[in-house]
């Protein structure tokens, strides 16, 4: 395993580290999509089902298929009671194992920067959705500092340690999303920013959450206790703390949506 790649191998740790952020951003994304009930949904890079659960709860879908390369993430998704009727597939966004026009809506929540060839991923979603259907995505604005744990990453980099990153960070830029969707032949393409806030009860709540970061946990585990304590102090100093000790801050994603040509 390459230590500088991100491996999603713990669905429960993901839930605390990213699932909470994902569901908050997912709510605003679904408000924006405003989908009709009774549609056939495809969730590409569904992970542990954090966003899938929101869509099932809110959108009254006719069917839901989720696909992700990580069997550990899918295993967690299968345990969600709300998702008992969903169908899960292990696979890659760049080679979707579905026939043309099988879905009404395809979404890629917090995934496009993990796809080595983002244009191929968008082409595959476009192929799998019927004419007139919806293809949409959102992703943390990585180059713009919108990632929820950017303060942590910046301080780790400052210690001279390589931070594992996704292969296609620029795909999360709003202008790149606009181009990807337009160049895939999608119509009525629109973009927007999504800003969400999260509160951690105290420093320990924040820090134990951070230690569940995919792949990063292993890097932190080999640091000396002194370096780890220094890192913790520096990261916490960057975050806004209330008098109660609670830490509240926001993260920012970019979203895109478009329709398959009729
Ligand atoms: C940040 S998680 C997002 C999970 C979920 N969509 C959510 O909103 O919580 C990124 C997911 O992308 C998946 N992924 C990575 N590379 C992928 C690829 N080439 N095709 C599809 N999914 C991929 C990972 O396994 C992981 O579950």
Residue nearest to atom 23 of ligand 1 (CA): 45
86 within domain boundaries: yes
Give the E-state strand segments of 154-244 in sequence order.
Answer: 187-200
Gap from CA of 56 to ligand 1 centroid (Å):
18
Give pLDDT tens digits for 196-226. 999 999 999 999 998 878 777 777 778 888 9
CA triple 251-257-260, angle to 5 deg: 160
Averaged pLDDT score across all residues of the chain: 94
**Enclosing domain of residue 58:** 11-146+164-198+253-259
Atom of ligand 1 nearest to the CA of 45: 22
Tokens standing for residue 62: 């006719």
111 within domain boundaries: yes
Atom of ligand 1 nearest to the CA of 115: 19
- Output the pLDDT for position 1: 53
132 within domain boundaries: yes
What is the spatial distance between Cα 56 and Cα 53, in angstroms, rounded to a whole number? 5
What is the spatial distance between Cα 103 and Cα 50, in angstroms, rounded to a whole number? 20
Q: What is the pTM of this model?
A: 0.94
171 within domain boundaries: yes
158 within domain boundaries: no
Task: Decide: helix, strand or coil at residue 12.
Answer: helix
Give pLDDT tens digits for 93-150. 999 999 999 999 999 999 999 999 999 999 999 999 999 999 999 999 999 999 999 9
Q: Which residues line ligand 1 (CB under 6 A)?
A: 8, 18-19, 22, 44-47, 50-51, 68-70, 73, 92-94, 109-111, 114-115
Q: Taking residues 29-43, report their average pLDDT.
A: 98
185 within domain boundaries: yes
CA triple 42-28-138, angle to 5 deg: 50
Gap from CA of 261 to ligand 1 centroid (Å):
26
206 within domain boundaries: no
User: Which mutation among 16, 55, 68, 198 tests ligand 1's pocket best, with the greatest number of atoms within 8 A of CB?
Assistant: 68
CATH number at residue 102: 3.40.50.150
Contact 171, 246 (CB under 8 A): no
Examine the pLDDT at 79 and tell me if it is beyond 80: yes
CA of residue 179 relative to chain centroid, distance:
20
Atom of ligand 1 nearest to the CA of 46: 6
Gap from CA of 39 to ligand 1 centroid (Å):
22
Task: Decide: helix, strand or coil at residue 167.
Answer: coil
Gap from CA of 242 to ligand 1 centroid (Å):
33
Q: What is the DSSP code (8-state) at residue 37?
A: S
What is the spatial distance between Cα 14 and Cα 219, in angstroms, rounded to a whole number? 17
The total number of structural domains that make up the chain: 1
155 within domain boundaries: no
Q: Residue 147: which of 160, 164, 161 has the closest Cα?
A: 164
What is the spatial distance between Cα 215 and Cα 235, in angstroms, rounded to a whole number? 18
Gap from CA of 224 to ligand 1 centroid (Å):
31
């Amino acid at each position: 395993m390459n230590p500088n790649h991100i491996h999603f191998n713990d669905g429960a740790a993901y839930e605390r580290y990213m699932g909470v952020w994902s569901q908050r951003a997912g709510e605003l994304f679904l408000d924006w999509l405003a989908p009709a009930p009774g549609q056939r949904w495809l969730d590409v890079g569904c992970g542990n089902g954090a966003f899938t659960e929101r869509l099932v709860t809110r959108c009254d879908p006719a069917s839901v298929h989720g696909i992700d390369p990580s069997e550990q993430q899918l295993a967690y998704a299968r345990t969600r009671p709300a998702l008992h009727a969903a169908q899960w597939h292990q696979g890659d966004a760049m080679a979707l194992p579905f026939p043309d026009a099988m879905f009404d809506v395809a979404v890629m929540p917090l995934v496009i920067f993990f796809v080595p060839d983002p244009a191929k991923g968008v082409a595959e979603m476009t192929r799998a959705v019927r004419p007139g259907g919806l293809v949409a995505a959102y992703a943390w604005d990585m180059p713009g500092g919108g990632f929820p744990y950017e303060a942590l990453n910046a301080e780790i980099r400052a210690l001279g340690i390589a931070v594992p990153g996704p292969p296609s960070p620029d795909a999360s830029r709003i202008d790149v999303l606009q181009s990807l969707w337009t160049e895939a032949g999608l119509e009525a393409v629109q973009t927007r920013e999504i800003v969400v806030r999260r509160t951690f009860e105290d420093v320990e709540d924040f820090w134990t959450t951070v230690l569940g970061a995919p792949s990063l946990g292993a890097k932190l585990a080999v640091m000396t206790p002194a370096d780890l304590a220094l890192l913790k102090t520096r990261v916490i100093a960057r975050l806004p703390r209330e008098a109660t000790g609670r830490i509240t801050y926001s993260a920012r994603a970019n979203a895109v949506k478009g329709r398959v040509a009729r």
